[in-house]
Amino acid sequence: MSVPPVSNSNCLAGQVCYRHDFGHGKRSRAENRTLVATVLTLITMVAEIIGGWLTGSMALLADGVHMGGHTVALGLAAGAYYLTRHHAENRRFSLGSGKIGDLAAFTSALLLGLSVIWLVYESILRLINPTVLLAREALLVAVLGLIVNLLCAWLLAGSNDHVHDHYSVHDKKENNNPEHKQSHHHHDHNLRAALVHVIADAVTSVAAIIGLIAAWAWGWNWLDPLIALVASAVILRWAVGLLRQTGAVLLDAEAPEAMREQVRQRLESVPDSQVVDLHLWSVGQKSWVLVASVVCHSHAGPEDYKERLADLPQIHHPVIEVMICQECELPAEST
């Protein structure tokens, strides 16, 4: 069990009262760094828009507007952290507020996908109808944007709280399967969405710098939109991957088989027990909910099974149904 019981004078005798925050009630390092990255991007956006307006530089103005999109994405991530923490104890959220972050990440991935559509459209348009390219001025803007993005990426990449995986040897072997390598049991999708936005912008900045240098040195104006198309394909792949991962959480998809098997083994370690039904799904970062049915030939109770899960802090509020069967045989297979 992830959260120890708390004393409550209103609890009935013999009952236990558990906290409702599902591990999301504390301010995390990821929230702090995401907020700093948001403020930094906002300041850069304002500076570029004002600078472009005063100097008449369309490149600077355009990049400032582009930075505005990333400010919205980072602000969405920072807001999700705040709302998740603020509503952690709100019992209107039956399984906690952790999915707010996944909802924000899903929305952010959609916005990233829409930005790719716009980028592809503009790139194709410039390949068909080449425009005058102010390479030197645009190069300065691209370098400035790259520096800001790298700084934000450094902030976000270093903000993921360290989490230990409590796997048995069998689980580690199972997790070597390529099917399981794509499953991140404790991945902070909200943080990843913010980081993907920043890295995507850094990739486009690098692509722009390469294209602008080629245009400045050899007059290859066609290279700039061509590199942008290649970068668009990479970014679109990231967006689709993020949509799949967050969509699975929002739709209550089952946990990876390795984790399910680990829990099954723990429950069946109680003598004369067999799991006949098991549901394990994510309700936010580092938070999983378990509902299981166990057939038992002894007189074990739900607390006996919960004790076997005590060192798995990622499992919150496990619900174990115990069916005592002293005469029938255990089923051959678990369902």
Whether residues 171 and 298 fall in one domain? no
Of 250, 278, 297, at which residue does a domain stop?
250
pLDDT exceeds cutoff 70 at 188: yes
Per-chain mean pLDDT for the chain: 78
Same domain, 269 and 203: no
CATH number reported for the structural domain that contains residue 312 in this entry: 3.30.300.90
State the residue range of the domain holding 296.
257-324
Residues 276 and 303 in one domain: yes
Number of domains in the chain: 2
Residue 72 lies in a domain: yes
8 A C-beta contact, residue 260 and residue 254: yes
151 vs 162 pLDDT, higher one: 151
Report CA-CA distances (Å) from 34 to 77, 197, 271.
7, 12, 48
Question: What was the pLDDT predicted at 306?
Answer: 92
Amino acid 64: pLDDT: 72
pLDDT at 242 over 70: yes
Q: Which is more confidently placed, 143 or 132? A: 143
Instruction: Answer whether residue 63 is part of any domain.
Output: yes
Confidence category of residue 150, pLDDT binned at 50, 70, 90 = very high
Percent of the chain topping pLDDT 90: 25
For residues 101 and 147, membership in a common domain is answered with yes
Residue 6: inside a domain: no
pLDDT of residue 67 exceeding 60: yes
Same domain, 47 and 154: yes
Residues 169 and 74 in one domain: yes
Measured between alpha carbons, how far is 28 from 148 in angstroms, rounded to an integer? Answer: 23
Q: Is the pLDDT of residue 6 over 80?
A: no
User: Is residue 232 situated within a structural domain?
Assistant: yes
Mean pLDDT of all residues in 263-290: 91
Enter the pTM of the model: 0.73
Euclidean distance between the first and the last CA atom of the chain, given in angstroms as a whole number: 24
Q: What is the pLDDT of residues 71-112, one digit of tens each?
A: 888 999 999 999 988 887 777 887 878 899 999 999 999 988
Element (H, E) at 321: strand 315-324
> What is the pLDDT confidence band of residue 326, given thresholds at 50, 70 and 90?
low
Do 62 and 177 share a structural domain? yes
Q: How far apart are CA 116 and CA 235, in angstroms?
A: 7
Two structure tokens written together for 310:
């005590």
- Of 210, 225, 250, which residue is a domain's last? 250
Domain boundary among the residues 209, 227, 250 is at 250
User: Is residue 291 scored above 50 in pLDDT?
Assistant: yes
Judge if 245 and 160 occupy the same domain.
yes
Longest distance between any two alpha carbons in the chain, whole Å: 87
Q: Under a CB-based contact definition with an 8 Å cutoff, are residues 282 and 232 in contact?
A: no
Looking at the structure, do residues 230 and 265 belong to the same domain, yes or no? no
DSSP state of 129: S
Tell me what pLDDT residue 14 has.
42
Asked if residues 255 and 288 have their Cβ atoms less than 8 Å apart, the reply is yes
* Same domain, yes or no: 217 and 266: no
Same domain for 84 and 221, yes or no, is: yes
My answer on whether 111 and 145 are in the same domain is yes
Which range has the top average pLDDT, 20-34, 280-294, 318-332?
280-294
Q: Is residue 37 part of a domain?
A: yes
pLDDT score, position 61: 63
The single-letter code of the amino acid at 180 is: H
CATH of the domain at 178: 1.20.1510.10
